[in-house]
Chain A
Amino acid sequence: MSLEIVRSSASSSPAPGVRVEPQLVKLVDTSTCIGCKACEVACQEWNDLPPEPTTNSTNSYQTMPATTASFWNLIKFNEHEEDAGSLHWLMRKDQCMHCSEPGCLIACPAPGAIVQYANGIVDFQQDNCIGCGYCITGCPFDIPKFNTGTKRVYKCTLCVDRVSVGLQPACVKACPTSCLQFGTKEAMLEIAEKRVTQLKANGFAQAAVYDPPGVGGTGVVTVLAFGDRPELYGLPKDPVVPAAVRFWKGPLKWFGNVAMLGGIAVAAVHFMRYGRKEGHD
């Protein structure tokens, strides 16, 4: 297990990583989550994050409306009535999805402030962060959160410090129902598919694995009983890196660079051909 970097934000050179490692993935089986919030506590404890006040503005068991710069793992509680009288309590783990194509990293202008390791973990390096917040614009899951004190951005690290020494993330360690599991993507998808088959046999015909291809797949895969409607869980149906960010960091950047250099070149050639106007100073 190494922390070799395979992708680095705002880098004018390719990332140095050459080692081939399996992608490590957290599996979230929402159908076996009991909403105990042990993962929330484990996350705060392991990461030594300051306590965040609980706010009951959601009118539910949910700890607070959304993750914050010092609360990276939030169980979202959603109530859903599928047929009249059948109430489903949908719990979902809101955290960084560790996208294979991270929009945050693509949008970031600070060299090395966001990196992706060979094992797939996307990590913020706050010492390189300049606090511009462009990562927030790049993220389709609304995950990076701005700390107004340090003016830098924070999110789940997938316990990279634990994973790099062969431990599983703190939330997975704390989960009492094995709703959370951790391993190679191959192994996790196998378990997930098995669970989907069980759910289908139990009457959830739309059950599916949430591993959205629009961001290249994710490092957190989620089993959803209502897999055809991830919105019920507060997940975007087909998340992608925003088209504006893609355009800005792709064609627009090329056009802009060529236009700026071209403008200078045209001025130089114009001067060589026509020179200074005649006349008085």
Chain B
Amino acid sequence: MVMLPVERVVRYNLRERLVHAAAGISYVYLLLTGLAFWTPALYWLAIVLGGGYLSRMLHPWAGLVFSAVLLVMWASWRRDMKTTPADKEWRKHIVDYMTNKDEKVPPVGRFNYGQKQFFWLMVIAMWALVISGGVLWFVSSVPAGFAWLRDAAILVHSISALATIGLFIVHLYMGIAVVPGGLSAIVRGEVTREWARQHHSLWKTRP
């Protein structure tokens, strides 16, 4: 029997994959060291990563890397991430999507509405984190008269970090466990034409 060659299309080019990997690695470092500072029960994470002192020293720099990478990502994906009329139709069927009744889900382009929301919420949270994080980086230089600024920074930083953790759990779960081919697409960059038709039928793939 002759196997027909499977036709593959490029979903993420190498540049997009590298940018995504840089965002992922810096985020995971920020997540682990941040969790170490969040609760004593997870302080061992900082120990494993070289100690609390080193973690405190590198966390802000990793934050700058993450923010810079996210800006690059924003520049290259922001047009693809705009909500379209097709997304509004998709949104009405989000429960069908979540319960895997994919035959009822309307067609979408390169990214679906959920992916777009994830992208924008991460960008917004990044700004909240980098601004509040800047205050916390130099918290000892904030004059006592501006105590409200320190207090606000602590709350904004922890609440927006928690928000990204919620998003991150969904993102990992969807990409690795739920959508077949999701992980290999972001690592190797290619999907089959069948995959593209099934998940993103309005996406204009190039051969």
Residues on A close to B: CB < 8 A? 10-12, 109-111, 128-134, 136-137, 142, 145-146, 151, 153, 242-245, 247-248, 252-253, 256-257, 259-260, 263-264, 267, 270-271, 274-281
Contacts and interface: CB of A to CB of B under 8 A. Distances in A.
B147 A278 contact: no
B155 A133 contact: no
A133 B139 contact: yes
Nearest to B47: A111
A280 B170 contact: no
B151 A244 contact: yes
25 contacts: A12-B43, A111-B40, A129-B53, A131-B57, A132-B136, A132-B139, A136-B140, A136-B150, A151-B57, A153-B140, A243-B151, A244-B154, A248-B158, A263-B170, A267-B169, A271-B173, A277-B178, A277-B179, A278-B102, A279-B180, A279-B198, A279-B199, A280-B192, A281-B192, A281-B195
Contacts of B152: 244
Contacts of B179: 276-277
B158 A277 contact: no
The listed residue with most B CB atoms (<10 A of its CB), out of A12, A242, A256, A276, is A256
Interface stretch (B110-118, B122-130, B159-167): B159-167
B155 A247 contact: yes
A260 B172 CA distance: 14
Contacts of B102: 277-279
B150 A253 contact: no
A136 B139 contact: yes
Closest 8 CB pairs of A and B: A244-B151, A146-B140, A130-B52, A142-B144, A133-B139, A10-B40, A281-B181, A130-B56
Contacts of A128: 52
A134 B139 contact: yes
Interface residues of B, number: 47
Nearest to B147: A242
A248 B154 contact: yes
B35 to A, nearest CB: 9
Contact of B150 (A12, A137, A276): A137
Interface string B23-53: 0000000000000111111010010000011
B198 to A, nearest CB: 5
Contacts of A12: 39-41, 43
Given A248-B154, A281-B195, A263 B169 contact: yes
Contacts of B166: 259-260, 263
A126 to B, nearest CB: 11
Contacts of B40: 10-12, 109, 111
Given A130-B53, A263-B166, A267-B170, 19 more contacts: A10-B43, A12-B40, A109-B40, A111-B40, A128-B52, A129-B53, A134-B139, A134-B154, A136-B140, A145-B140, A244-B152, A245-B154, A257-B39, A263-B170, A270-B98, A271-B173, A274-B98, A276-B179, A281-B181
A205 to B, nearest CB: 31
Contacts of A252: 155, 158-159
Contact of B140 (A110, A133, A279, A280): A133
Nearest to A247: B155
Contacts of A270: 98, 173
A133 to B, nearest CB: 4
Contact of B173 (A11, A109, A131, A267): A267
Interface string B177-198: 1111100100000001011001
Contacts of B53: 129-131, 151
A110 B40 CA distance: 8
A276 B162 contact: no
A131 B150 CA distance: 15
